[in-house]
């Protein structure tokens, strides 16, 4: 599906030959913007380079004469560093002072194939470095295609030789049979307008070798053109051009008007588009993009995870075709590299991708859209920069005078607070897209109180009889069901029947999860697998039982209870292969299955007309998670998955199985009451000074020894006590996952009131770090600004 696509061939202007010395086109690209010393006008011989090291400084290197015309801010270069070589990016010109004070070494190589990072991106990455407290080099790394930190500037551009007949070919045919055969074949292709063709195709058709062709070129019969391959181009069959005609409804029109007015004003503005599931937010994005494109502008669309949202991506591709570059995590480094270059060269004015796409090298994007802005996958944890792509999107838009749209059915409380304070403009679409002129309703949600389900306890199953019955009805009516197994704390683990011992990963302080197909235990944090133990690790009892239910067990139970039911399972195990999400969803979309069941992967963004039932197996899972956002996450998940039901003509119904039917969050989800939930949650946050009221910074210490790591954290706490007494300091305490991949972790949390400026906090942390000095080898300190997840 993702094969290299040769047809249509790239336009002439994108054809280049390899090697910069032979490339006059590229020379004039750079020669006008050489680094020049501002005063003397002489060429500056020193470049200041950001290297991907966790050290907050730039490094000066000498520019050898033969490179000087290539070097300018934004260029990727390779430099010596100690005994190693590192790849970094030129960010500034050096001064004569650098020359004098420094025995600078020479730049070793320059990557001339990659368009230099723009001034805008250099500035944005510097902002990221400052705000998220990492080095500029680390921030710059996130703005380059993956693999860019390999210390080589060798060309990663792939080319292909295209062979065609020369218009000035001699009249007499060549002598050799093979030669004649080749010419004959090319004539046929030319008549069919298929020439020039890749040399490999020609040779596999006619036989012969590269030498035969070279000879024919020398004799003037053939021409060879070296073309650059764009491995990121999507094959034509991935383009879905089927689209229904739609008339916008009034809330959509209002939203689009406000947005296009802002785009026209050519100045920064940020919208929070709060529209219930199925209210037509994607259509608003599409119209806004259309507006930008009609004025020749460019745009970025962030989606939480490409593989989970093939339908959304398809809609963009259907509307904008080849103008769209889709970036996703399953692309090979080569594909990503090509996409990056294509975007930098202006070939793709629309970029769709996950969080890293916020740093895509578009020139002056006019619009940045963040779909499902509440999703936690927008936050990067490792490696640095630990940035939040939504927040970076807003800052990028601000810096380049662009319009930003944050869209969600369940906006994050952070964004809601910004809308309330007037930082963002709130656009609301409280109703679903009307169907045939009739208002479409959100699905009815029913609670199944599991505490009363005696039958369930007897059968040891997990599906309540009402839910099974409802699924059965859908099967009879040829409608479909989505089942969510909210897996947090619900994975199948083994337990000793007599003492309660649970096998844990030897490197991480978490339980091992049972995987039936391979009959082994696996750690979901580090991936280690182990055989099933034959006895309890504590009391040596042989009576071990499986607890909890995984998706596999759920699948079995359904197959047992509803004979003949057609099931599709979507979880980590079934989606490892490339394109596997796509396949599962396509199958479901064709109606080849009655039920799609899975983990949180099934909760998001799916739009299937025949889905009229959604079942949530353990609605309260996740509520008690030690995370300040646990309730917010749960509410979002419940609302999102419920929103998959009844999106077209057929009405939807949702069953929510739980042991805590009275829990406030479950009650709000039942009534689709976002506003009520927000009121309730914001109040709790405010009371405790948690975001969005205050700000959080987490400082995590990890090391191979528990006591030493703790001592380190304690010393830090004392430094922070001294340098930053005006903020709340919590901990240090063992992290939620105390031991991970054989490293012990302790965490210190800073709760920063709004009255304390961020710059002051950063200063205090830097001062403390200086006072602390170098950490011993093997120990690490990780600063996470605005952490998301378990804090």
Closest CA to 286 of 379, 405, 193: 405
Angstrom distances, CA of residue 659 to CA of 90, 297, 403, 448, 617: 58, 52, 44, 8, 10
The residue among 341 and 743 lying less far from Zn ion, judged by its C-beta, is 743
Residue 541 binding target from ligand ADP, Zn ion, none, CB below 5 to 8 Å by type: Zn ion
The sheet with strand 159-165 has its strands ordered as: 197-198, 159-165, 222-228
At residue 62's C-alpha, the angle toward residues 60 and 67, to 5°, is 125
Residue 508 binding target from ligand ADP, Zn ion, none, CB below 5 to 8 Å by type: Zn ion
Q: Which residues contact 75 (CB under 8 A, 6 or more apart)?
A: 89, 90, 110, 111, 116
Residue 208 binding target from ligand ADP, Zn ion, none, CB below 5 to 8 Å by type: none
At residue 519's C-alpha, the angle toward residues 515 and 522, to 5°, is 45
Binding mask 483-522 for ligand ADP (x = CB under 6 A): ----------------------------------------
User: Could you give the CA distance from residue 689 to residue 329 in angstroms, rounded to a whole number?
Assistant: 36
User: Could you give the CA distance from residue 231 to residue 4 in angstroms, rounded to a whole number?
Assistant: 5
Q: How many residues bind ligand ADP (CB under 6 A)?
A: 15
Does position 248 interact with ligand ADP (CB under 6 A)? The reply is yes
Residue 249 binding target from ligand ADP, Zn ion, none, CB below 5 to 8 Å by type: ligand ADP
State which of positions 425-444 bind ligand ADP (CB under 6 A).
433
Quick one: which of 246, 265, 539, 675 contacts Zn ion (CB under 5 A)?
A: 539
State which of positions 194-223 bind Zn ion (CB under 5 A).
none
Extended beta strands in 332-479, E state = 350-353, 367-370, 403-408, 425-429, 444-449
User: Could you give the CA distance from residue 751 to residue 767 in angstroms, rounded to a whole number?
Assistant: 18
The DSSP call for residue 438 is: B
The residue among 248 and 630 lying less far from ligand ADP, judged by its C-beta, is 248
Closest CA to 769 of 723, 729, 733, 725: 723
Quick one: which of 205, 556, 607, 627 contacts ligand ADP (CB under 6 A)?
A: 607
Query: Whole-number minimum distance, CB 485 to Zn ion, in Å?
Result: 22
Residue 248 binding target from ligand ADP, Zn ion, none, CB below 5 to 8 Å by type: ligand ADP
Query: Whole-number minimum distance, CB 351 to ligand ADP, in Å?
Result: 19
Query: Whole-number minimum distance, CB 285 to ligand ADP, in Å?
Result: 8
Residue 393 binding target from ligand ADP, Zn ion, none, CB below 5 to 8 Å by type: none
The sheet with strand 520-522 has its strands ordered as: 513-515, 520-522, 529-530
User: Could you give the CA distance from residue 583 to residue 574 in angstroms, rounded to a whole number?
Assistant: 11
Binding mask 507-526 for Zn ion (x = CB under 5 A): xx--------------x-xx
Stretch that binds Zn ion, among 100-108, 193-201, 473-481, 502-510 (CB under 5 A): 502-510
State which of positions 309-348 bind ligand ADP (CB under 6 A).
none
Does position 249 interact with ligand ADP (CB under 6 A)? The reply is yes
End-to-end Cα spacing for the chain? 41
The residue among 176 and 500 lying less far from Zn ion, judged by its C-beta, is 500
State which of positions 469-498 bind Zn ion (CB under 5 A).
496
Contact 404, 605 (CB under 8 A): no
Helix (H, G, I), strand (E, B) or coil at 65: helix
Helix (H, G, I), strand (E, B) or coil at 788: coil
Q: How many residues bind Zn ion (CB under 5 A)?
A: 14
The residue among 511 and 768 lying less far from Zn ion, judged by its C-beta, is 511
State which of positions 560-579 bind ligand ADP (CB under 6 A).
none
CB atoms within 10 A of CB 305: 17
Does position 40 interact with ligand ADP (CB under 6 A)? The reply is no
User: Which backbone phi and psi does 332 adopt, to 5 degrees?
Assistant: -75, 160
Angstrom distances, CA of residue 231 to CA of 19, 226, 439: 19, 15, 45
Task: Tell whether the torsion through CA atoms of 254, 256, 261 and 266 is positive or negative.
Answer: positive
Closest CA to 347 of 738, 122, 702, 12: 12
Residue 278 binding target from ligand ADP, Zn ion, none, CB below 5 to 8 Å by type: ligand ADP
Angstrom distances, CA of residue 21 to CA of 18, 54, 66, 113, 116: 9, 35, 10, 12, 18
Contact 686, 693 (CB under 8 A): yes
Does position 550 interact with ligand ADP (CB under 6 A)? The reply is no
The residue among 182 and 496 lying less far from Zn ion, judged by its C-beta, is 496
Query: Whole-number minimum distance, CB 300 to ligand ADP, in Å?
Result: 18
Query: Whole-number minimum distance, CB 502 to Zn ion, in Å?
Result: 10
Quick one: which of 246, 253, 455, 771 contacts ligand ADP (CB under 6 A)?
A: 246
Query: What is the chain's alpha carbon radius of gyration, rounded to the nearest angstrom?
Result: 30
Quick one: which of 505, 595, 596, 638 contacts Zn ion (CB under 5 A)?
A: 505
Quick one: which of 25, 204, 538, 766 contacts Zn ion (CB under 5 A)?
A: 538
Quick one: which of 77, 339, 404, 536 contacts Zn ion (CB under 5 A)?
A: 536
State which of positions 252-291 bind ligand ADP (CB under 6 A).
252, 275, 277-283
Does position 675 interact with Zn ion (CB under 5 A)? The reply is no
Query: Whole-number minimum distance, CB 289 to ligand ADP, in Å?
Result: 13
Query: Whole-number minimum distance, CB 496 to Zn ion, in Å?
Result: 3
User: Could you give the CA distance from residue 13 to residue 20 in angstroms, rounded to a whole number?
Assistant: 16
Residue 308 binding target from ligand ADP, Zn ion, none, CB below 5 to 8 Å by type: none
Closest CA to 765 of 729, 734, 737: 729
In terms of DSSP H, where are the helices of 532-579?
551-561
Residue 163 binding target from ligand ADP, Zn ion, none, CB below 5 to 8 Å by type: none
Quick one: which of 424, 501, 690, 701 contacts Zn ion (CB under 5 A)?
A: 501
Residue 277 binding target from Zn ion, ligand ADP, none, CB below 5 to 8 Å by type: ligand ADP
Residue 394 binding target from ligand ADP, Zn ion, none, CB below 5 to 8 Å by type: none
Residue 525 binding target from ligand ADP, Zn ion, none, CB below 5 to 8 Å by type: Zn ion
User: Could you give the CA distance from residue 396 to residue 419 in angstroms, rounded to a whole number?
Assistant: 18
Q: Which residues contact 465 (CB under 8 A, 6 or more apart)?
A: 453, 455, 456
- Residues in contact with Zn ion by CB under 5 A are 496, 499, 501, 505, 507-508, 523, 525-526, 528, 536, 538-539, 541
- Residues in contact with ligand ADP by CB under 6 A are 246-249, 252, 275, 277-283, 433, 607
């Amino acid at each position: 599906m993702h094969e290299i696509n040769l047809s249509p061939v790239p336009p002439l202007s994108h054809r280049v030959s390899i090697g910069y010395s032979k490339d006059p086109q590229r020379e004039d690209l750079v020669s006008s913007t050489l680094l020049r010393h501002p005063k003397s006008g002489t060429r500056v011989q020193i470049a200041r380079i950001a290297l991907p090291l966790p050290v907050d400084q730039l490094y000066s290197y000498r520019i050898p004469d033969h490179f000087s015309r290539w070097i300018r801010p934004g260029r990727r270069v390779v430099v010596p560093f100690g005994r190693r070589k590192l790849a970094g990016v030129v960010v500034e010109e050096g001064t004569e002072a650098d020359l004098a004070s420094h025995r600078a070494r020479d730049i070793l190589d320059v990557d001339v194939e990659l368009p230099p990072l723009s001034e805008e991106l250099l500035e944005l990455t510097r902002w990221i470095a400052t705000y998220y407290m990492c080095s500029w080099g680390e921030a710059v790394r996130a703005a380059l295609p993956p693999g860019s930190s390999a210390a080589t500037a060798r060309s990663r551009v792939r080319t292909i030789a295209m062979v065609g007949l020369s218009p000035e070919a001699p009249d007499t045919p060549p002598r050799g049979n093979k030669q004649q055969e080749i010419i004959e074949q090319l004539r046929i292709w030319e008549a069919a307008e298929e020439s020039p063709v890749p040399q490999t195709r020609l040779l596999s058709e006619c036989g012969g070798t590269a030498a035969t062709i070279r000879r024919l070129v020398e004799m003037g019969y053939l021409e060879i053109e070296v073309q650059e391959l764009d491995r990121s181009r999507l094959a034509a069959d991935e383009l879905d051009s089927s689209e229904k005609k739609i008339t916008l409804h009034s809330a959509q029109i209002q939203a689009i008007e406000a947005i296009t007015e802002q785009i026209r004003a050519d100045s920064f503005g940020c919208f929070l588009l709060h529209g219930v599931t199925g209210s037509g937010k994607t259509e608003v994005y599409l119209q806004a993009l259309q507006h930008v494109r009609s004025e020749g502008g460019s745009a970025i669309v962030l989606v939480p995870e490409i593989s989970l949202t093939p339908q959304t991506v398809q809609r963009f591709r259907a509307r904008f075709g080849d103008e769209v570059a889709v970036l996703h995590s399953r692309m090979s480094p080569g594909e990503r590299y090509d996409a990056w270059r294509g975007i930098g060269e202006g070939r793709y004015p629309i970029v769709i991708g996950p969080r890293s796409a916020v740093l895509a090298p578009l020139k002056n994007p006019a619009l940045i859209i963040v779909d499902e802005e509440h999703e936690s996958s927008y936050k990067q944890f490792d490696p640095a920069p630990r940035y939040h792509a939504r927040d970076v999107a807003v800052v990028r838009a601000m810096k380049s005078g662009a319009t930003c749209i944050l869209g969600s059915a369940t906006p994050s409380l952070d964004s809601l607070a910004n809308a309330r304070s007037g930082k963002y403009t709130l656009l609301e679409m409280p109703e679903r897209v009307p169907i045939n002129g009739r208002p479409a309703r959100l699905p009815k949600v029913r609670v199944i109180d599991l505490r009363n389900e005696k039958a369930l306890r007897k059968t040891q199953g997990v599906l309540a009889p009402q839910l099974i019955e409802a699924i059965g009805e859908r099967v009879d009516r040829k409608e479909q069901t989505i089942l969510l197994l909210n897996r947090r704390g619900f994975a199948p683990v083994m337990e000793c029947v007599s003492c309660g011992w649970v096998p844990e990963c030897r490197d991480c302080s978490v339980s091992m999860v049972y995987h039936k197909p391979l009959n082994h235990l696996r750690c979901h944090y580090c991936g280690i697998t182990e055989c099933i133990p034959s006895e309890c690790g504590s009391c040596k009892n042989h009576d071990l039982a499986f607890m909890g239910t995984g998706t596999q067990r759920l699948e079995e139970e359904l197959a047992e209870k509803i004979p003949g039911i057609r099931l599709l399972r979507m979880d980590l195990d079934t989606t490892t292969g490339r394109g596997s999400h796509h396949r599962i969803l396509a199958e479901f979309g064709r109606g080849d299955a009655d039920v799609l069941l899975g983990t949180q992967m099934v909760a998001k963004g799916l739009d299937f007309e025949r889905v009229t039932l959604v079942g949530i197996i353990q609605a309260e899972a996740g509520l008690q998670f030690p995370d300040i956002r646990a309730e917010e996450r749960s509410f979002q998940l419940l609302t999102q998955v419920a929103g998959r039901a009844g999106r077209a003509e057929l009405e939807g119904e949702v069953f929510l199985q739980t042991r805590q039917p009275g829990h406030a969050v479950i009650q709000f989800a039942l009534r689709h009451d976002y506003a009520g939930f927000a009121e309730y949650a914001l109040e709790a946050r405010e009371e405790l000074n948690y975001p969005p009221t205050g700000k959080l910074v987490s400082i995590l210490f990890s090391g191979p020894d528990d006591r030493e790591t703790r001592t380190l954290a304690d010393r830090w706490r004392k430094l922070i006590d001294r340098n930053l007494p005006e903020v709340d300091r919590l901990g240090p305490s063992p992290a939620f996952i105390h031991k991970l991949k054989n490293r012990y972790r302790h965490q210190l949390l800073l709760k920063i009131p709004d009255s304390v400026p961020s710059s002051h906090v950063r200063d205090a942390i830097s001062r403390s770090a200086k006072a602390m000095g170098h950490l011993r080898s093997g120990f690490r300190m990780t600063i996470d600004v605005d952490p998301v997840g378990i804090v």
